[in-house]
A and B are shown apart, each in its own frame.
Chain A
Amino acid sequence: MTQVIAFTMLETALYTRNPVKLISLIGIPVILLVLMGGIYGNVPDASGFGMIDRSLTGYIGMAVAFAGLMSLPLTLCQYRERKILKRFRATPANPASILASQLIVNLFITLAGVLLLLVVGKIVYHVRFPGNWGFLVLAFLLCSAAVFALGFLIASLVRDTKTANAVSFVLYFPMLMLSGATIPVNAMPSAMANVSKALPLTYGIDLMKLAWTGAPVAKGFSDLVVLAGVFLGCSAISALTFRWE
């Protein structure tokens, strides 16, 4: 446990030395918010919610996807390719500690971005949140768990960094477009909607939407099951196939 803490503290300090990466990770959701807010505003319609109210969870989902599918696998693959992981294997440190620390750091940074998003959303666009904080936090964590586990899977199965990057791209952009973050799923033609159902992020965003709008937890049960399943499945396969070199 102390090893995980030691690694996490170091990895966090290292992140802060890469300001471009840090700012883009924390800033992406907010930039999106400001862009969309500038175009659509947040005037409530008949349902009582404005465009931003309805989309905020989508932006959170996008932040999670970026961290989990782009940042996380890329870093792990780079560490492997540069033989950093191999070096740590030759010590008493449990190499899983490095993996855990990467997970934690990416989660922290996503959280920072999300908090910034919520603060700006409240102050600038007066977002309405009739939901339950506990439910929202749970939904966020589950969504992150599933997407990050998918990121781990990419890093486990794909050998070199270039290919991992390509795979991440191929998964990330459809998730962005089709998971309900930008276009609501029920507005999609059936072919697109079917693809949407195959993406883990769709269920994460849906769950967060339910939390946001104050729906009862029970309504999100199927989302919960899918997310937990993705998390467990991806984690199990990663644990068996992750290559240290």
Chain B
Amino acid sequence: MKVIEVEDLRKDYGNKVAVDGISFDVRKGEIFGMLGPNGAGKSTTIECLTGLKPRTGGKVKLLGLDPERDRKALYRRIGVQLQETSYQDHVKVAEICRLFASFYRKPLASESLLKRFGLDGRKNAAVQSLSGGQRQRLSIVLALIANPEVVFLDELTTGLDPQARRAIWACVRDLKDEGRTVFLTTHFMEEAELLCDRLCIVNGGKVVALDTVSSILVGSGIDSVVTVETPASPEIFHGLSGVKRADAKDGRIVVHGSGRRFLGGIVQALEASGADYGELSYKKPNLEDVFLSMTGTSFVQ
């Protein structure tokens, strides 16, 4: 079942084209990511999807409704976490939760949400005094108070240290376990690879790839590379499943190829040959490689 349907979305700001004909669908219960460098049109897309900005062209359907026409009805069913949000000066965590809860007919209990996201001990603290990671967790809490069917997360882990980032990823996976649909934007490859069921890579306002992460990686045609220190001849790898080529250089063999049995086959062949071998390094294609091969530009993080 499609929860979000986007067809040829366009958004201009005067002369500047931020979103230039983006189309995709999001299915119920999945974590769908939009990955792209800064300026690719991610935040603009989220704002058009959630009715915060009017679109210049194209169709958007969210839970079957139009985000611009049916905003009030939609806001009862979705939760939004925006980039760079702040809250009133001196406001306390519990107070802002209470305020948000007052907007909904059947809000989730903020007490248990705060507990779940580890903010229980800070509920009487001023929001200003929270750390970056705590503040991001609070913004998820506020997005969840609505008990939303769809959660929108815009660059949720930007500016967080790796530990905080991992904590947030666990929270996002929990959302999926609860049956919610998650639409997130990010410019972190690792985040997209680890979290997203399906991914849309964007650049310059256009879609560059749209599929599951593994399909994008496999379908990109970029090879995995195994490098092994060994005096053996590269011929021992010829004809193995998935191997495209193997070259010897400076006491090492570099093997290019792909497929499930690629690495295993190489190790087996090495063993079978009886040759001595040292360190093995294995580089799988990642989204950065995909982005580079598709757009010709590197992904500046």
A residues apposed to B, CB below 8 Å: 2-3, 6-7, 10-11, 13-14, 17-18, 79, 82-84, 86-87, 89-93
Known: A86-B52, A89-B52, A92-B75. Is A11-B82 also a contact (CB below 8 A)? no
Cβ–Cβ < 8 Å partners of B146 in chain A: 91
Cβ–Cβ < 8 Å partners of B82 in chain A: 83, 86-87, 90
CB of A95, distance to nearest CB on chain B (Å): 11
Tell me if B's interface is mostly helix, strand, loop or mixed.
loop
- Would B91 and A93 count as touching, CB distance under 8 A? no
- Would A14 and B88 count as touching, CB distance under 8 A? yes
- Would A3 and B91 count as touching, CB distance under 8 A? no
11 contacts between A and B (CB under 8 A): A2-B102, A6-B99, A13-B95, A79-B88, A83-B84, A84-B86, A84-B87, A89-B52, A90-B50, A91-B75, A91-B103
For B139-152 the 0/1 string (1 means CB < 8 A from A) is 00000001000000
- Select which of A3, A10, A79 is within 8 A of B103 by beta carbon: A3
**Residue in A closest to B100 when the chains form the complex, CB atoms:** A91
- Would A83 and B88 count as touching, CB distance under 8 A? no
- Would B90 and A90 count as touching, CB distance under 8 A? no
The 4 closest A-B pairs by CB, nearest first: A17-B90, A90-B80, A6-B102, A92-B75
Q: B250 interface residue, CB < 8 Å from A? A: no
Cβ–Cβ < 8 Å partners of B80 in chain A: 90-91
Q: B123 interface residue, CB < 8 Å from A? A: no
- Would B88 and A11 count as touching, CB distance under 8 A? yes
User: Measured between alpha carbons, how far is A14 from B88 in the docked complex, in Å?
Assistant: 8
CB of A71, distance to nearest CB on chain B (Å): 14
- Would B91 and A10 count as touching, CB distance under 8 A? yes
Cβ–Cβ < 8 Å partners of B84 in chain A: 83
Q: B282 interface residue, CB < 8 Å from A? A: no
